[in-house]
Chains A and B, each alone.
Chain A
Amino acid sequence: MKTHARQFNESARHYTADLHHRELIQKALAGYYARRDEFKSRFQSWPAARDLAADIKREAINHLDRYLDEFVSRLEARGTKVFWAPGAKEARDYIIGVAQQHKVRSVIKSKSMTAEEIHLNEALKQNGFEVVESDLGEYIVQLRREPPYHLVFPAMHLTRRQISDLFHDRLGSEPTNDPEDLTMIARRVMRRKYCEADMGISGANFAIAETGMISITENEGNARLTTSLPKVHVALVGIEKVLPKLSDLALFLPMLATAGAGQSITCYNTLYGGPRQPGEPDGPEEFHVVLLDNRRTELLADAEQRDALHCIRCGACLNVCPVFKNVGGHSYGTTYQGPIGSVITPHLRGLQDWKHLSQASSLCGACTEACPVKINLHHHLLHNRRNAVRVYPAPLDNLLQTTFVFVMCRPGLYQLAARLGRLAQPLQRLIRGTVLDPLRAWTKTRSFPALAEKSFRDRWRERKTP
């Protein structure tokens, strides 16, 4: 079996050479950058808003037990059934149990990365339930039987032509080059599904402790229909989604929209506080909230990286990451792509299997700068590298590093090394990039800078004593 690291390397090599892919991603992101900057500039102070957002999430995460308790007791007081799921299996089993109990035939689902994380669709299908993704991008990747490419834009790697061909093959629609026509094809299919579905499954963007509500952010209206029409609604919520107060949304809703999608506000920001209440005309008879741990508490226990749980899954760090833009979302092989995925996946799925993601970074810090809740992303990649070698030390790297420090601390030795390097350079040129080259890891795809014929030190000496 291929290791995750090998799979990543092979896929990354493929995508970085795919110029068509690069052009598509760059074009999609160019519009995002322009709109994001426009809406950021409308804030009276984006940096102060970030500080405040980080403080609020910090307060929530560092008192998570108290806020979760408050959230759950308020939800339960109004007839919501809450299930605490320590792991993925418990969450899946509970949701399948609810579906069986209600003799559900078809399930409609709105976008949820947490559901991707626990592979909910596969489990439901294995148990005989039909599951349809209602978000357009998610529906497209579901028809293609592939995972979402990006946390927020699941189908950003596809052209309208590819989507038209897909719809033609799978739905029998007429080929078209118009994104509006394609959207309307999906709309018509989905309308039937909403009306037939017995159960709606959603995620949640925020869990409000003060009032016992979940908040769902979306543009299409698919989550609203998913949570309005079927008789059962199940929301799968990671325990880190908690916000202390209802008024916190006044900050988080515009920040999520601006950082995540380059919008001033997303089209629908909806709060759900229970099943249909007495006197209300519609809504589900039952509302279940599944609170998922699935090793989030292990990340919580790592105080140094605890702020990674502040993440609101906006995807801003992916959009600015030079590695993501070149290797593409599918190379990661993770539920959460990009810098945030590289930070949290080792915690959620094992450090040694996923430590290679920490190396897939230029440490440029663009992610940290883009993060609306100020997660120290690029430093956490370094923390993961350090933690990985603590368990499995890398003796060769250590030797190189020790030698480097030894030489750099001794000017005479450094000069000698530079002279030797200058002598060895012509020899290295003969074998550059071949298996004999000791610098092959670098030189097989890059040129190696030549050492100057005279060092700065030599020239300085010449200038002073002519």
Chain B
Amino acid sequence: MTNREVILGRIREALKIAAPPALHEGPPGPAAPLPASPQKWLPPVGETLEEQVQLFRRNAEELKAEFYDCTALNEAIQYLKKLAATGGWKNIGRHRGELTDAVARELGLQEVLTDHGYALNDLESCDAALTECDALVAQTGSVLVSAPGAGGRALSVLPPHHVVLARRNQMVPDLGAALRGAQEKFKGQFPSFLSFISGPSRTGDIERILVLGAHGPKKLTVLLLP
């Protein structure tokens, strides 16, 4: 017998006895079918895109991320130039993409492109990372990134400042919508990596006091483009 058969055999043997009924607060009766979505129990999200953008802003700022709603691409470029100047950026890591290409051209910094592999030490010494994303989640203030959509696994976590360029139509109400969106987009051919990023890296392991920049970025900036 293989280990797989051993363990599955133990499980099937164990499950021959049914578990006692669940202890729900509701009235006893036949078990209700599981609702398709937990949406109605989770924190509420506004109906309109504008409300969702405002909720995303509140949540992102609460998570100590920086959020900037740009009316045009040029505004994002100007904003990034300011960030680059104050942060003293010399080189940035990024991947190829419609938005990242357009912005990086104007920034004119040295670059490490991750699309076709990179030297780890080069990426590690970058001052910032510029990525796109797969979705923004209003309910939690999270950014969904994937290996193909954000230049791989390390780009969005290794450099000390992560800048996300997102389009307004990438805003989704909640985690459920973001996951459904990913399922539709990748149609079973998922990338090996998907991550919800909610604010800059943090820890509370010393006396439960919040410190930003534990192992990942100390700063997270989300630029919303039309």
Specify which chain B residues have a CB less than 8 angstroms from the CB of A269 in the assembled complex.
142, 195-196, 198
Specify which chain B residues have a CB less than 8 angstroms from the CB of A270 in the assembled complex.
193-196
A65 and B11 contacting across the interface, CB-CB below 8 Å: yes
Specify which chain A residues have a CB less than 8 angstroms from the CB of B17 in the assembled complex.
301, 303
How many whole Å from B216's CB to the nearest CB in chain A?
A: 3
Specify which chain A residues have a CB less than 8 angstroms from the CB of B25 in the assembled complex.
47, 51
A163 and B22 contacting across the interface, CB-CB below 8 Å: no
B37 and A250 contacting across the interface, CB-CB below 8 Å: yes
How many whole Å from B46's CB to the nearest CB in chain A?
A: 14
Nearest residue (CB) in A for B201 is A221
In angstroms, Cα B209 to Cα A159, docked, is 11
Which residue, of B63, B115, B151, B199, has the highest number of chain A Cβ atoms within 10 A? B199
For residues 39 through 83 of chain A, which have their beta carbon under 8 Å from a beta carbon of chain B? 42-49, 51-52, 54-56, 58-59, 61-65, 68-69, 72, 78, 83
How many whole Å from A186's CB to the nearest CB in chain B?
A: 8
Is B116 in the interface zone, CB < 8 Å from A?
yes
Q: B57-71 interface mask toward A, CB cutoff 8 Å, 1 = contact, 0 = none?
A: 001001100000000
Is B221 in the interface zone, CB < 8 Å from A?
no
How many whole Å from A401's CB to the nearest CB in chain B?
A: 25
Is B214 in the interface zone, CB < 8 Å from A?
yes
B191 and A277 contacting across the interface, CB-CB below 8 Å: yes
A281 and B18 contacting across the interface, CB-CB below 8 Å: no
How many whole Å from B44's CB to the nearest CB in chain A?
A: 6
Q: A230-253 interface mask toward B, CB cutoff 8 Å, 1 = contact, 0 = none?
A: 000000000100000011011101
A155 and B205 contacting across the interface, CB-CB below 8 Å: yes
A247 and B214 in contact (CB under 8 A), knowing A55-B22, A86-B7?
no
A49 and B41 contacting across the interface, CB-CB below 8 Å: yes
Q: How big is chain B's contact interface, by range?
A: 35 or more
Specify which chain A residues have a CB less than 8 angstroms from the CB of B207 in the assembled complex.
24, 27-28, 159-160, 179
Is A403 in the interface zone, CB < 8 Å from B?
no
Q: B187-217 interface mask toward A, CB cutoff 8 Å, 1 = contact, 0 = none?
A: 0001111111111111111111101011111
In angstroms, Cα B167 to Cα A129, docked, is 46
Is B176 in the interface zone, CB < 8 Å from A?
yes
In angstroms, Cα B23 to Cα A32, docked, is 27
B179 and A247 contacting across the interface, CB-CB below 8 Å: yes
Specify which chain B residues have a CB less than 8 angstroms from the CB of A219 in the assembled complex.
201-204, 214
Is A198 in the interface zone, CB < 8 Å from B?
no
B3 and A84 contacting across the interface, CB-CB below 8 Å: yes
Main SS of chain A's interface residues? helix
Is B34 in the interface zone, CB < 8 Å from A?
yes
Is A114 in the interface zone, CB < 8 Å from B?
no
Is B132 in the interface zone, CB < 8 Å from A?
no
Q: A378-389 interface mask toward B, CB cutoff 8 Å, 1 = contact, 0 = none?
A: 000000000000
Is A300 in the interface zone, CB < 8 Å from B?
yes
In angstroms, Cα B214 to Cα A297, docked, is 37
Is A366 in the interface zone, CB < 8 Å from B?
no
Is B72 in the interface zone, CB < 8 Å from A?
no
B140 and A254 contacting across the interface, CB-CB below 8 Å: yes
B41 and A225 contacting across the interface, CB-CB below 8 Å: no
Nearest residue (CB) in B for A271 is B194
Is B118 in the interface zone, CB < 8 Å from A?
yes
A281 and B214 in contact (CB under 8 A), knowing A219-B202, A221-B201, A227-B153?
no
Specify which chain A residues have a CB less than 8 angstroms from the CB of B2 in the assembled complex.
84
For residues 120 through 134 of chain B, which have their beta carbon under 8 Å from a beta carbon of chain A? 120-121, 124
A45 and B154 contacting across the interface, CB-CB below 8 Å: no
A56 and B34 contacting across the interface, CB-CB below 8 Å: yes
A179 and B193 contacting across the interface, CB-CB below 8 Å: no
How many whole Å from B215's CB to the nearest CB in chain A?
A: 4
A52 and B192 contacting across the interface, CB-CB below 8 Å: no
Is A280 in the interface zone, CB < 8 Å from B?
yes
How many whole Å from B182's CB to the nearest CB in chain A?
A: 8
In angstroms, Cα B11 to Cα A315, docked, is 26
Select B208's contact among A32, A51, A239, A293, beta carbons within 8 Å.
A32
A301 and B214 in contact (CB under 8 A), knowing A44-B43, A179-B207?
no
Which residue, of B44, B142, B215, B216, has the highest number of chain A Cβ atoms within 10 A? B215
Is B105 in the interface zone, CB < 8 Å from A?
no
A280 and B22 contacting across the interface, CB-CB below 8 Å: no
Select B179's contact among A72, A83, A249, A261, beta carbons within 8 Å.
A249
In angstroms, Cα B120 to Cα A247, docked, is 34
In angstroms, Cα B201 to Cα A135, docked, is 12
For residues 291 through 324 of chain A, which have their beta carbon under 8 Å from a beta carbon of chain B? 291, 293, 297-298, 300-301, 303-304, 306-307
A224 and B14 contacting across the interface, CB-CB below 8 Å: no
Select A267's contact among B158, B191, B202, beta carbons within 8 Å.
B202
For residues 245 through 292 of chain A, which have their beta carbon under 8 Å from a beta carbon of chain B? 246-247, 249-251, 253-254, 261, 264-277, 279-283, 287, 291
List of 8 A-B pairs having minimum Cβ-Cβ separation, nearest first:
A221-B216, A220-B214, A250-B176, A137-B205, A281-B152, A301-B14, A228-B153, A297-B10
Chain A positions near chain B (C-beta within 8 angstroms):
24, 27-28, 31-32, 42-49, 51-52, 54-56, 58-59, 61-65, 68-69, 72, 78, 83-86, 90, 134-137, 140, 153-156, 158-160, 163, 179-180, 182-184, 187, 190-191, 195, 211, 213, 219-222, 224-225, 227-229, 239, 246-247, 249-251, 253-254, 261, 264-277, 279-283, 287, 291, 293, 297-298, 300-301, 303-304, 306-307, 374, 376
* A219-B201, A228-B152 known, 13 other contacts, Cβ within 8 Å: A31-B208, A44-B41, A65-B15, A69-B8, A179-B211, A219-B202, A250-B174, A279-B148, A281-B117, A281-B147, A282-B114, A297-B14, A306-B19
Can you sample 9 A-B contacts with CB below 8 Å? Answer: A24-B207, A86-B10, A187-B213, A219-B202, A250-B175, A251-B38, A254-B43, A277-B191, A303-B17
